[in-house]
Structure formats: C-alpha cells, structure tokens
Amino acid sequence: MKGETLTYFADKQPLVADIFSRYPASPQGRRSALMPLLREVQNAHGYVSEAQMAEIAALCGTTATEVRSVMSFYSTYHTVPTGKYHLQVCSTLMCSLAGSDELWDHLVETLDVQPGEVSPDGRFSVQKVECLGSCGTAPMMQIGDEGYYESVTPSKCARILAALHADTPLAPDNLVPVTVNAEGRQTLATGEMVGASIGGLSSLTGGTA
Amino acid sequence: MKVTIDGVQVELPAGTSAIDAVFHAGQDVPFFCAHSYLSPVGACRMCLIESGSPRKNPDGSFVMEGEGDAATPKIFWFPKPMASCTMQATEGMHIRTAATSDVVAKAQAGMMEFTLLNHPLDCPTCDKGGACELQDRAFEYGYGASRFGFDRRHADKHYPLSDFVILDQERCIHCKRCVRYFEEVPGQEVLDFIERGVHTFIDTEEGGLPTGFQGNITDICPVGALLDNVARFRGRNWEYDHTPTTCTLCPAGCSITADARNGRLERVVARENREVNEAWICDAGRFGHVFASEARLTKPLVRVDGQLVETGWDEAIAAIRAGLDGLNPADLALFLHADSTLEEGAALEALAALTGTASVDHWPRYPAEVLSNATLNDIATADAVVVLGADLGEEAPIVELRVLEMLRGGILPPEYAHGTAIADLRLVERPARKPEKLAVIGSPSRLSGHAGTFVQASHADLLTLIRPDSEGARTALNLLNSAKNPVLILGADVLNGASAGAFATQLSDLVARTGAKVMAIPAAANSRGLGHLNLVPRTGGQGYAAVNHTRAAFISRLDPVAAGQRLGGFSIVHDTHLTATAQAADVVLPAVTGYEKRGTTVNVEGRLLPLQQAALNAGEAADLIRTLAALAEALGVRTRIRGLKSAQALLQTRLGVDVTGLPEAGVIRPLGPVYAAPTGQAHRPQLWTERMTLKPDPWKATWVDRIESLVENKWELPMAGAQTAGGDD
C-alpha cells in the first residue's frame, strides 16, 4: 500500500486543530469535521483505507460505520487506491447520447482497467460519474481534480491518452468550475472567491451553540 | 384539541402526531418507518394524508367560510399529501386518509409501487411471510401490479451482520428503523446506510453487531431483510403456536412470545410491555432458547446397578420410596431454582411444612432482605441514576436499556385508543444524551462506558457511597443528593455482602438522606417472589450451599455438581437436562423449562407477571407442583397441592394476592414479609450459559449425519415403524 500509515494525522496536529477550529466546539461540531478530514486523506493517498476511516472516526468521536456511510454517499471519495490519473467519464443522458458509452468502452479496453482497479503501470483508474454540468460539450471527462476534457472524440481521446502515457498531460479545456482551497474557501475557476469565508466568523447573539 | 379525521371529530391531547390522530379516530394509514419507541423521520413516505388547518385573521378571529350562522372556519389544505408521522396535529386540523381521499389513495399506491420496484417477490421462501408489514400493506394499499419491466436490483441475500442476524440486502426498503434503533436505544452507532439511492444497503464497519440487544432489529424490520438466524427457515409464521408469556432468564421479566412448531421452541420475539421492556428484549432472551428443544429429559431415570436407566413415573416413585426407606421425611432437604414460579414455591413450602424438614432453600438468592421500591419506569424517568456493584448486562439487561432511556430524556410515548403512540414527536434522531446523570461504581461494564462518572472498584458496597473516599464517589453521592427523583441500583457485588442488620440500616439512612428510590437486582428470575415464601433454611437445617451435608436431597433444576459441590446422601434431581448433578443422582425426574409452565413470576420491580405454556414436546416432564405431589406420594404424606389451581388458591391465602387472570402487563402488589437467611456462598450472575448457545452448524451436522446413515444403509430411506390405527389422540 503506497504511503499508507496507520496514524495519518499523528504528526499533523496543527492541521487537525485548524480543521476542528472551523466548527463549533461541541460533539456535533466535532462530527462536522468529518468531510475536511476525509478530503485531507484522500488528497494525500488518492483513497481512504479502512484503518484511516477508523482513525477519522476516533478523531470525530463517531464510529467507522458512520464515516463509511458518509464517504460512500459521495462518489468522489474512494475506498480503493486510484491511479495517478483518475479518469471520470460522465455517463448521464447528454454525454450518453453523444457517445460516452463508446468512450468508456474504449478506455476500459485500451487501458485494460476496470472500475475499482488501477492499471498495472499505476497510471490509470476509471470511474463513471453523473452529470458534471458540461452537457454542451458532450462527451466529456474529468481527470483527477485538474479539469474538464470536453468533446472527447476518438482522436482527441487518443491524444489525451498518449500524453498521459508520456506523463505530459494536455492542459484541460476548462478548469473544474468550483474548487475548495486549503482554507476551506470555495473558489471559482477564475480565482474569484465565493461562498462564506470561514475566517472572521462571529457567533450569533442569543444562542449558546 | 379537536381534530377531524375523515369527518369524525376526536378530542386529542396537544402534541399528538397526525398518524396517532388517524389511528385514534379508528382510521388507518400504512407506515413502515415509524415505530413507537424510535424517532419519527418520515423515511418511507407511506403514511401520506391530506391535511389542512384553519387560519386566523390579524384580529385573532378565524378566516370563515359560508354565510351567517352556517359559517365555519375555512380549512386551508396543504397543496400535496403530507407524511403524517412527522406532522403534529393542531387545533381544528382536518385530515383525510385514503378512505375518503382519492389523492391519498393514489399517492400511497404509487409510493407502494416505488417501494416494491426492487423488492424481490420471494415471499414464498421468506421467513417474514405471513407476518410482514410490507406484504400486508401492499395487499391493502398497493396497485397489485408493477409497471417496472426491467431487471431488479440484485444484492447479497445472505449477508451475515453477526452470528445472530442475517441481512437480505435485496429485501431492504430503507426505512432506517434498525439504524435508528442502534443509535437511539442501546446508543451504539454500529449500523448505517452505505452508498446512496438505489444502491443503498445497510452494513457495519465494526466487524459485526455487538451482542447485547442486536436481536431487536429483527423484530422491528418491517420486511424480511433482517432475520433471526437462530429461527431462520425453521417455520412459517402461520405454523407457529404463538404463546404470550414472560421470559424467566433474568429478573427483568420481559414480555415475550414463544413460537413453537411441531413441539419445538423455534423462536422468541419481544412482546410490548409499556411498564417493563417497552418493545425490546436482550439477545440472551431472544437467541438463548435453544436448550428448550435440545437434549431434553423426557422420562424419569432411576439408578440400576450404578447406571441411570429410563423408566416411568410409578417406578421412579417406587425407587424414591425404596431409597428413602429408613429415613424420616424430615431428613429430605428440598432445594429449588429461584426462577421457579410462585405456585411452585408455594407447593414446596407446603410440602416442607408437611414433612417438617428444616433444610429448605432456593438458589440463587442474596442473604438479606433489601428494600427495593423503584419501578423500571421510575428509572427511565429519573433525573439521576447511580449503579452500585452491578453488571446489568449480566444481571438484568433490560434495566440497562431503561437507564440508557433515562440518559436520553426518559420520554415515554403516551397511550391512545389504539395503543402506544406510533410516532412520538418528542423523540428525535441523535438525541442529546446527558451522561452526567449516570454514575457507575463497580467493575467496568457496557453501561460504564455511557456514564458521566465511573468509579472502578473491584468490591463495591454501600460504604463507597456513604463515606466516599474518591472524587468519583463524591460526585455520585452529590448526584443522588441534588436530584429530585434519583434511583439507586444495587447489584450482585453489593447484595452478596448484604447482612441482615447493618446493611438495612445503612441503606435506609442513605435513602432518607438522598430521597432515592432503590432497585436491588434479584439474583434470579423469581428470587424476589420466592423471598416472600418461607423457602430458606430453618433452625438446624442445611442451606443449598451445604447440599453435601444432607442425608437426602430433592434438587429441582439446580446443578451443584457443575459448581464444584458434591451431593450428600440419596439424591432426587428434577431437571430439564441430564446435568452433572443429574448424572450423579439416584433418581432423576424430568422437568419443564420456563417456557412450558403456567404460573406467576415476580420481576425486579415486584411485578406479578403471568407465565403461559408454550406447545413444546417435553415427553413425561412435569412442573415442580406435580413433581412434588409425586414426591409426597413416595414419602407417604398427603399434600393438598396437586396442581396449579390448588397452588394458586394457596397463594391467595398465603400472600393475599389473586394470581389468576393477571393482565399481560402484570401488576405490582404487596406480598408481605420477606424470609431471608445467610446463603453460605456468593452468587455470580451470568446471563448466557453454555446450553443457551447454538451448537456450531446444527443443520449441517444433521445433514451430514443423515447422509452418512443413508450411505451406511445402502440408500434405504428410513421408514417409521408400523403405526397402530387411530393413535391416542
């Protein structure tokens, strides 16, 4: 198992303290830190192992069952290792009409990898995902968290794969529209900050929680 | 509060949920996810109703409809059907169910079609078939056909969540009852939904469900998804003889239904008792019944040339008479198990009076009378509980659940015309628990993990509280002092050391100072009831601990040899199985289990609870009353107590209670003075005994045996012997 340590957060106490500081100091608040903790592990390892689920459960004061339940709800969390390039093929209606099934079959055959597997060279893993909101440029796929590769025709697919094999990925056609930065802030592809800031929060008057 | 349901106006207390309003008015809505003792969440969307309320003008008058005197408050209807389990009924609300509203009927039928989309129609092989909420409701409220022409979801049909509970993932309809049960009742977050949408299934990441109270999820599952593995594939629901009775494995006295088929006890399910176990029972009570149908003694045994051989009752009586020849009837010690019924105890007391024996005892019991006046509902509604020297998981698990209920607020669902509230809106998901209201002093246990204060003490006694020498003990005492309705629970560690004088004084002082109610957990199922009968050694007599010093002994369903004791003189053993003691006995008489007798037991609260006889095949086994009548015959004394009726008549004069026709929920009655005596040994409570666990793979073993015997017999099928026409029935 690559890079797996039994206690991922043991030497990252400042980070853990920072994440917990974003939530109320109550048992419910501790549980809320589940998502950023999961994201942290996933970003580092590409997936969250059972041992790390148990570790996160202990940090949040809940059980591994609860952690797995939350994790499994979101298709972006993985319980099995992913490749260096995680290809997420949109398989919802628009892309499906535009040929995403053929794209998927092509990827699975040429890369010799099934969902949940990593190709022998460790480069590729594939996943079918639901609509990524790029219907006008179907079929499309997202690679890792980098960005959208749109209107993926057979020839474009071949170019993308060749570039990935050479570890010189092509630039995405578009960045992922909204990402969450290290401070927990939502950021548009343009760099504009959106959503509430977690800094400078003040308690509402009249409440205790 | 007046609410109108399908045109019928009913008067309801404030806070009633709409679903209870509907049932209270005698109407019906289907529901899967609501449960009386769990939070209503509106997950299944079956309990749809149309509802509307009057509205007020800014001046406080109602918005009216109609002219002049005929004007009535105008009802503003919700635009869509609403889930009634999560909606509170309000003053003047109008509700329409499927009986009067086509919209509701169509919505419910449509919802049922969705619920059944992926449900495998394997009712013919499903254990739930015939007692399935989904089956019944689909019949009553469904279309009867599906428009879904595609392949259904397929998933694991035999997924073991533990040794006791098997999950059929295809049958699950995601009502979330089991998930909420674990979170809210035993406070263990060990089950949850995994994945989402149509792929959702239930699983645990903890390597199996914790033993204790897991079996309850098989009762509350509205479909055949969660199945009791002990009873799995053992019978159809309509084949079982259902016997409502009381569990006698521990002093809690939970109401259960014993389901027997072909003379075997196949299943035990919980029965609601609002006063005692609500809707839950422990795993031992549910799964530990296998002994009742395995390796039972069905005929008396007498020792001939050193070997025990089967015989009839007449021969056994003759053997007793011969064995006791030359002994005075007063030399025969009489010992009985303390889970025997009151009637059996009265019969034994009467026989002891006739023979004049001083050696009478019941076991397990504790040496001193202990004031005990708390009920289980007192515990659930207390504002502080201190548990002293008790491992409730071993002594009386349901008491533990009631303590946990106290921690989450002690909300007891109200009662309506249709029974316990189906959806009590005060119950919420993820209830905030108040661990600071619980202090546990003693050895670490399951409950101590929930306690705000835990004082580890290998030996707990009252002095720990009276003269606290640690911070934790002081906190516990303060808890009792400052609370309005505190309850003190005393367990084996304390009660084994209780002596007649000092202990009672200490306890009454403590109670006077703190105002606490006390619950002393009795040693066995009916120790509390039998304590009111003179079943303790009299002057000059031997107690059960000195069984080896008796010149002759009658021992009913006790196993002193397995506990390392030796038998004394001539021994008559009355037991359900060939125990170590029975193997050492001179005469063995077959006994019946607690599932097969009628009678009365007294639980931890002093509640008289009825036992009923399940239809089990026990051969010539007899309960203690009839066995004692046979013993009296062998002793040459005439006893008046020869059956249940005469024993109950004796109880009426002896204790002043009429135990005939007890309500199923039982009643608490004063039973008069308590007889106590030193025990000479300590009682170590243990809930699960070896005979209660399922032997590994009994089915496989049976099949292997059968096939091996078939091979040996050259594949000749075994045939029953020649039958005489008519039979004896």
Q: Tell me whether residues B189 and A63 touch, CB distance under 8 A.
A: yes
Residue B190 CB-half CA count within 13 A: 17
Domains and CATH numbers, chain B: 2-114 (3.10.20.740), 121-128+149-293 (3.30.70.20), 301-365+528-679 (3.40.50.740), 376-413+433-520 (3.40.228.10)
Confidence of residue B710 (pLDDT cuts 50, 70, 90): confident
Is the CB of A73 inside 8 Å of chain B's CB atoms? yes
- Inter-chain contact A72–B206, Cβ cutoff 8 Å? no
Average pLDDT of B122-139?
94
Q: Which chain A residues in 31-60 lie under 8 Å from chain B, judged by CB atoms? A: 50, 53-54
Q: Is the distance from CB of A124 to CB of A164 less than 8 angstroms? A: yes
- A62, A63, A128: best mutation site toward chain B, by most B Cβ within 10 Å? A63
Q: How far does CA B184 lie from the centroid of its chain?
A: 19
With an 8 Å Cβ cutoff, are A65 and B203 in contact?
A: yes
Under the phi-then-psi rule, with left for phi > 0, alpha for psi from -120 to 50, and beta for the rest, what region is B287?
alpha
* % of residues, chain B, pLDDT over 90: 85
Residue-wise pLDDT tens digits, B219-241: 999 999 999 999 999 999 999 99
Mean predicted confidence (pLDDT) in A53-67: 94
Kindly provide the residue ranges of all beta strands, DSSP E only, lying in B445-598, ordered along the sequence.
Answer: 453-456, 486-490, 517-520, 552-556, 570-575, 587-590
Model confidence, pTM: 0.91
**B688 at interface of A, judged by CB pairs closer than 8 A:** no
Decide if pLDDT at A22 tops 90.
Answer: no
Q: What is the pLDDT, as a whole number, of residue A177?
A: 84
Q: Note if the bond before B364 is cis, omega within 30 degrees.
A: yes
Chain B residue numbers with beta carbons less than 8 Å from the beta carbon of A67 are 205
CB B11 within 8 A of CB B1: yes
**Is the dihedral angle over the CA atoms B699, B701, B706, B710 positive or is it negative?**
positive
Q: Which of A53, A54, A65 sits opposite B192 (nearest CB)?
A: A65
Alpha-carbon separation of residue B359 from A53, B326, B355, B640 (angstroms) = 61, 18, 11, 21
* Minimal CA separation from A151 to chain B, in Å: 29
Q: With contact defined as beta carbons under 8 Å apart, do A24 and A42 qualify?
A: no
Choose, out of B205, B206, B214, B428, the residue to mutate when testing the contact with A (most A CBs < 10 Å): B205
Q: Write the single-letter amino acid at B99.
A: A
For residue A50, the distance in angstroms to the closest alpha carbon of chain B comes to 9
Is the pLDDT score of B729 beyond 90? Answer: no
Q: Does domain A13-73 have CATH number 1.10.10.1590?
A: yes
The domain ranges of chain A are 13-73, 85-175
Mean pLDDT score of chain B: 92
**Total CB pairs under 8 A between chain A and B:** 33
Q: Which residues of B are less than 8 Å from A69 in CB distance?
A: 192-194
Which of chain A's residues have a Cβ under 8 Å away from the Cβ of B194? 68-69, 72
Answer yes or no: do A69 and B190 touch at CB < 8 A.
no
Q: What is the least distance, in Å, from the CA of B195 to any CA of chain A?
A: 5
CATH code of domain A85-175: 3.40.30.10
Chain A residues with CB-CB distance to B196 below 8 A: 72-73
Q: How many CB atoms lie within 10 A of CB B24?
A: 22
Contact state of B194 with A69 under an 8 Å Cβ cutoff: yes
The pair of structure tokens assigned to A11 is 């030497």
Over residues B383-420, the pLDDT tens digits come to 999 999 999 999 999 999 999 999 999 999 999 999 99
CA distance A172 to chain B (A): 30
Q: Please report the pLDDT score of residue B254 as a whole number.
A: 96
Contact across the interface for B189 and A67, Cβ inside 8 Å? no
Closest residue, chain A, to B197 (C-alpha): A73
Lowest mean pLDDT segment, chosen from A5-9, B13-17, B468-472, B544-548: A5-9
- Integer Cα distance of A38 and B338 in angstroms: 55
pLDDT of the residue at B722 = 60
Distance (Å) of CA A75 to CA A131, A141, A148, A176: 12, 15, 17, 16
**Six-digit token pair at B248?**
């006698």
Residue of B nearest to A69 (CA): B194
A190 vs B274, residue with greater confidence: B274
Spatial separation of the C-alpha atoms in residues A65 and A185, rounded to whole Å: 28
Q: What is the pLDDT of residue A3?
A: 45
The one-letter code for the residue type at B304 is: V
What tokens appear for A94 in the block? 């628009």
Q: Does A72 touch chain B (CB under 8 A)?
A: yes
Q: Distances from the Cα of B338 to the Cαs of B288, B395, B530, B532, in angstroms? A: 19, 14, 7, 12
Measured between beta carbons, the chain B residues lying within 8 angstroms of A72 are: 194-196
Q: What is the pLDDT of residue B721?
A: 59
Per-residue confidence at B501, pLDDT binned at 50, 70, 90?
A: confident
- What is the percent of chain B with per-residue pLDDT over 70, rounded to a whole number? 96
In the predicted model, is pLDDT for residue B697 greater than 60?
Answer: no
Residue B724: the pLDDT is 55
Q: What is the pLDDT of residue A153?
A: 93
Q: Which of A54, A65, A72 lies closest to B189 in CB terms?
A: A65
What's the token pair of residue B372?
């005990």
Burial A77-111, CB ≥16 within 10 A → b, else e: bbeebbbbbbbbbbbbebbbebebeebbebbbeeb
pLDDT digits (tens, 9 = 90+) for B526-566: 999 999 999 999 999 999 999 999 999 999 999 999 999 99
Q: Which residues on chain B are in Cβ contact (under 8 Å) with A56?
A: none
pLDDT category, A2, cuts 50, 70, 90? very low
Residue B131, φ and ψ in degrees, nearest 5: -135, 35
Q: Are strands B552-556 and B332-337 parallel, antiparallel or unpaired?
A: parallel
Residue B700: pLDDT above 70? no
Q: What is the mean pLDDT of residues B138-161?
A: 91
What is the DSSP secondary-structure string of A8-20?
A: TTTT-HHHHHHHH
Mean pLDDT, range A98-114, rounded to an integer: 94
B598 pLDDT more than 90: yes
Least Cα separation, residue A76 to chain B (angstroms): 12
Using a CB–CB cutoff of 8 Å, tell me whether B205 touches chain A.
yes
Strand order in the sheet with B438-442: B453-456, B438-442, B384-388, B486-490, B517-520
Residue A1: per-residue pLDDT: 43
Q: Which residues contact B42 (CB under 8 A, 6 or more apart)?
A: B33, B83, B85, B86
> B727 falls in which pLDDT band (50, 70, 90)?
very low
DSSP line for B291-353: GGGSS---S-EEEETTEEEE--HHHHHHHHHHHTTTS-GGGEEEEEETTS-HHHHHHHHHHHH
% residues pLDDT > 70 (chain A)? 89
Q: Please say if the pLDDT value at position B248 is more than 90.
A: yes
Q: Do B205 and A53 touch (CB under 8 A)?
A: yes
Residue contact B189–A64, C-beta within 8 A:
no
CA distances (Å), origin B571, targets A82, B110, B310? 72, 69, 16
Mean pLDDT of the region B480-503 = 90
Is B191 an interface residue toward A (CB < 8 Å)?
Answer: yes
Task: State which residue of chain A sits closest to B204, comparing Cα positions.
Answer: A65
| ipTM computed for the complex | 0.84
Interface residue B189 vs chain A (CB under 8 A)? yes
Q: Which tens digit of pLDDT belongs to each residue from B63-91? A: 999 888 889 999 999 999 999 999 999 99
Whether residue B206 lies within 8 A of chain A, CB to CB, comes out as: yes
A180 or B34, which is more confident: B34
Three-class DSSP category at B705: helix
| Distance in Å, alpha carbon of A80 to nearest chain B alpha carbon | 15
- Chain A: residue nearest B202 by CA? A69
d(CA B79, CA B425): 23
A-chain CB neighbours of B189 within 8 Å are 62-63, 65-66
Residue B609 main-chain phi, psi, to 5 deg: -125, 140
CB contact under 8 A, A63 and B205: yes
**Residue A5 pLDDT greater than 60, yes or no:** no
Question: Is the Cβ pair A66, B189 closer than 8 Å?
Answer: yes
The top-scoring range by mean pLDDT among A40-44, B23-27, B291-295 is: B23-27
CA within 13 Å, CB half, B171: 25
